[in-house]
Amino acid sequence: MKSAKESGDGGAGQVLVEEKRFARILTLNRPRQLNALSFQMITELLKHFTANEEDPKVKLLILKGKGRAFCAGGDVAEVAHSINEGHWTNGANFFWNEFRLNYLIATYSKPQVSLLDGIVMGGGAGVSIHGRFRVATDKTVFAMPETALGLFPDIGSSYFLSRLPGFFGEYVGLTGARLNGAEMLACGLATHFVPSGRLTALEESLTKIGSSDPFAVCAVIDKYSEQLPLKETSAFNRLDVIDKCFSKNSVEEILSALEQEAVNNTEWILAAVQSLKKASPLSLKISLRSIREGRLQSIGQCLTKDYRICCHILRKEASKDFFEWEPSRLELIDDAMVDRYFSKVDDQGWEDLKLPTRQGPGVKLGSKL
């Protein structure tokens, strides 16, 4: 196994690379930080994904995490520190590279198999859900917790959240609800469910596939996969209630509808209400609009939108919400304030996210859900 450090670059072993037969196995290697994506790690992943797509000897990529997390998101602490030490553009540079990586994965011409054996949050979803195969396990915990942090579900998530059944994507994106492996499989975020104890055998079988044919890869994963029933208390079992509430036009109306349903004291509804009341009001309004727009946008358009919103947040223009909790109530946020986050940034030298041209017979531009 070769580490990034051993490759002679500055990756410091944050991405481990194993060349095994027809496969390349990339392991996120920051276990103490739950494999949170650092700038170094993103740079390293961009390099490896690009090189392996061009290498005819490589037929597929396997992505996994070391320790108890696949990837718990982007390293927000690193971003905040870089801003405090310098300029908001330091943070913008982080997201510029992260979103280009997300786009590369979403349009990748070779199968990517992500082994989601542990925590998958935020940026971790960005490097996996856009890929062809997402294998959940009995240890998987998925969430998009950004609204509780004064942020919003970025990494192009408005593209895949908006394509989940009904309005389940709004529920997941606004409340930060945690999903287990069975729920990921049921809603389409995962393509397969494989018990954690069988992943080593699955990985070995995948390395023997001498083809980039996704049907061949799928057939191998199918041999190890199981159909797992949802728990009776799973919110996905009440998609009718979720659709009734989260189809409303505003966050205020969604919250009101949930509170009316909460008279039945259903645990997941009460949890959703509490999550929305604790979350950043501005983040909720930005997130709802972003997911709604995502229904009619391409993955490239979603990522370009995300970059704009991130830059506005980093500049603390309309609010200091990334750093402080304001405005503190939903009714204090008007449409004009939300509109500002979706507009171009008025700053000399700023430019919209530039995504590489991706074309060719193997490049996939459609949804992989």
CA distance 208 to 236: 36
How many CB atoms are closer than 10 A to CB 25? 20
Which class for 254: exposed (0-12), middle (13-18), buried (19 or more C-beta within 10 A)?
buried
Among this protein's residues, is 126 annotated catalytic? no
Which one of 74, 91, 150, 156 is the catalytic residue?
74
Q: Which residues contact 288 (CB under 8 A, 6 or more apart)?
A: 170, 174, 250, 251, 254
- Look at residues 303, 306, 297 and name the one whose alpha carbon lies nearest to residue 163: 297
Which one of 75, 78, 98, 154 is the catalytic residue?
154
Which one of 75, 78, 98, 146 is the catalytic residue?
146
For the chain, list the strands marked E by DSSP. Answer: 2-3, 15-20, 23-28, 60-65, 69-71, 112-116, 119-121, 133-136, 141-143, 179-180, 192-193
Which one of 11, 118, 123, 188 is the catalytic residue?
123
Among this protein's residues, is 154 annotated catalytic? yes
- Look at residues 362, 361, 352, 360 and name the one whose alpha carbon lies nearest to residue 300: 352
Among this protein's residues, is 146 annotated catalytic? yes
Report the catalytic residues: 74, 123, 146, 154
